[in-house]
């Protein structure tokens, strides 16, 4: 079953907040600089958050059989 876009966006946003926080904390602990940590915490997680959104959407299109094996057809192809 495909996740609704609104729910997928909310899940992506909550993941982004978590990712920004972790990235800032690690960057700050490594550099001791709020400026550098802020820049790293914005650039890297932003790119990963966009990638995560499309990754989740792609995975939601995979159909699985009862044995847990992916089908060779995407869910949009099955009627």
Give me the domain span that covers residue 48: 5-74
Residue 17 class from Cβ within 10 Å (0-12 exposed, 13-18 middle, 19+ buried)?
A: exposed
Q: What is the DSSP letter of 3?
A: P
When pLDDT is cut at 50, 70 and 90, the band that residue 74 belongs to is low
Please check whether residue 9 lies inside any domain of the structure. Answer: yes
pLDDT at 76: 58
Secondary structure of residue 77 in the 3-state scheme:
coil
pTM over 0.85: no
Q: What is the C-alpha to C-alpha distance for residues 56 and 68, in angstroms, rounded to an integer? A: 18
Q: How many domains does the chain have?
A: 1
Please check whether residue 14 lies inside any domain of the structure. Answer: yes
Please check whether residue 79 lies inside any domain of the structure. Answer: no
H or E segment to which residue 42 belongs? helix 34-60
Q: What is the DSSP letter of 70?
A: E
pLDDT digits (tens, 9 = 90+) for 12-64: 889 888 988 999 999 999 999 999 999 998 898 788 878 988 998 888 888 87
């Amino acid at each position: 079953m495909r996740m609704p876009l609104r729910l997928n966006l909310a899940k992506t946003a909550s993941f982004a907040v978590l990712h920004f926080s972790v990235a800032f904390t690690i960057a700050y602990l490594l550099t001791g600089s709020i400026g550098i940590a802020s820049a790293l915490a914005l650039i890297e997680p932003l790119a990963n958050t966009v990638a995560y959104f499309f990754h989740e959407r792609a995975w939601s299109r995979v159909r699985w059989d009862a044995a847990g094996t992916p089908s060779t057809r995407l869910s949009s192809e099955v009627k």
